[in-house]
Amino acid sequence: MSGVTLSLAGKVALITGGSRGIGAETVRLFRQAGASVVFNYRTAKAPAYALVEEVGGAKHCIALPQELSTPDQGRALVEETVRAFGRIDILVANHGVWPAEDAPIAKMSTEQWRQTLAVNLDSVFGLAQGAVTHMQRQPRLSPEAAAGHIVFISSTAGQRGEANHADYAASKGALISLTKSLASELAPQGIYVNCVAPGWVETDMSAPALADPATSAKIFATIPLGRVARPTEVAAPILFLCTSYAGFMTGEIVDVNGGAVLAG
């Protein structure tokens, strides 16, 4: 008996924030599953190009320098993806910012609020709009294939809030609502929209907090599994949601947090 295969053969995926952390692991898994991949980076040029070579080179994977803080930038990245590989079958909106310093609402600057929502939400609107436009009009890879898959990356902060980080929590909560809205809107057209909501993950963004003994002790105390996630433990559910095995799932918020949301 042969093993189960999660295949994305013949599909083209755009994965934002793909040079490091969850994004890089998602790029690796998608390439292993047979997809052609485009991902963007902002400053991590060397890791981005090293990743391209690791997963098979520019024939199958392309890294693009692209800021994502406006709808126009999101739409432009979609167009670059289609220009590179002729179509787009999957969008994984993984990029985002989390201002590390606590900012109580009475002191949070308008600039911080706007910048966080610009990166985490405004650009995602442009990405989704651009991707859906192509998914709606391009031919399907086969009669039974989905017209497209979109996966937004939210957070436990988007589900239960995060004190002193209202900007981040608001942006990630909006992605959950966007998932549900687009899922019902696009399901009749064969476009699946789901969301993965990680808790704490071993990434560059979380490294300062996890490196501090007092802070990390508080973090681990809120996670029933007693540890933070490895990036591949978030990338794997993203991959699953884009395969035929998730063919009856849309509008779902998939929690990947070690039970943290259950613990309050």
Pairing of the two strands 61-65 and 253-256: unpaired
What is the structure's pLDDT at 191? 98
**Close Cβ partners of 142 (under 8 Å, ≥ 6 residues apart):** none
What is the structure's pLDDT at 122? 98
Sheet holding 148-153, edge to edge: 61-65, 36-41, 12-15, 90-93, 148-153, 191-198, 253-256
What is the structure's pLDDT at 263? 58
Residue 214 has pLDDT above 90, yes or no: no
d(CA 120, CA 19): 17
d(CA 173, CA 158): 4
Residue 151 is encoded by which pair of tokens?
């996966």
What is the structure's pLDDT at 96? 96
d(CA 174, CA 193): 14
pLDDT per residue as tens digits for the range 57-116: 999 999 999 999 999 999 999 999 999 999 999 999 999 999 989 999 999 999 999 999
User: Residue with structure tokens 């991707």?
Assistant: 131
Half-sphere exposure of 259 (CA within 13 A, CB side): 9
d(CA 4, CA 108): 49
Name the CA radius of gyration of the chain, rounded: 18
What is the structure's pLDDT at 3? 84
Residue 12 has pLDDT above 70, yes or no: yes
Q: Residue 129 belongs to what H/E stretch?
A: helix 123-137
Residues constituting the chain: 264
d(CA 227, CA 225): 6
Write the DSSP assignment of 206-246 as a string of letters.
THHHHHSHHHHHHHHHT-TTSSPBPHHHHHHHHHHHTSGGG
Q: Do the Cβ atoms of 31 and 11 come closer than 8 Å?
A: no
Residue 118 has pLDDT above 80, yes or no: yes
Domains of the chain: 12-203+230-256 (3.40.50.720)
How many distinct helices (H) and strands (E) make up the chain? 10, 7
Task: List the single range of 99-108, 195-204, 212-221, 226-235 with lowest mean pLDDT.
Answer: 212-221
pLDDT per residue as tens digits for the range 128-161: 999 999 999 999 998 999 999 999 999 999 999 9
pTM given for the model: 0.95
Task: List the single range of 1-5, 172-176, 199-203, 255-259 with lowest mean pLDDT.
Answer: 1-5
What is the structure's pLDDT at 211? 86
Q: Do the Cβ atoms of 165 and 99 come closer than 8 Å?
A: yes
Could you tell me where the beta strands, DSSP code E, fall in 54-131?
A: 61-65, 90-93
Residue 183 has pLDDT above 90, yes or no: yes
Q: Would you name the residues annotated as active-site residues? A: 168
Helix axes 21-32, 231-241, angle to 10 degrees: 50
pLDDT per residue as tens digits for the range 16-69: 999 999 999 999 999 999 999 999 999 999 999 999 999 999 999 999 999 999
What is the structure's pLDDT at 1? 66
More reliable by pLDDT, 234 or 209? 234
pLDDT confidence tier of residue 264, bands split at 50, 70 and 90: low
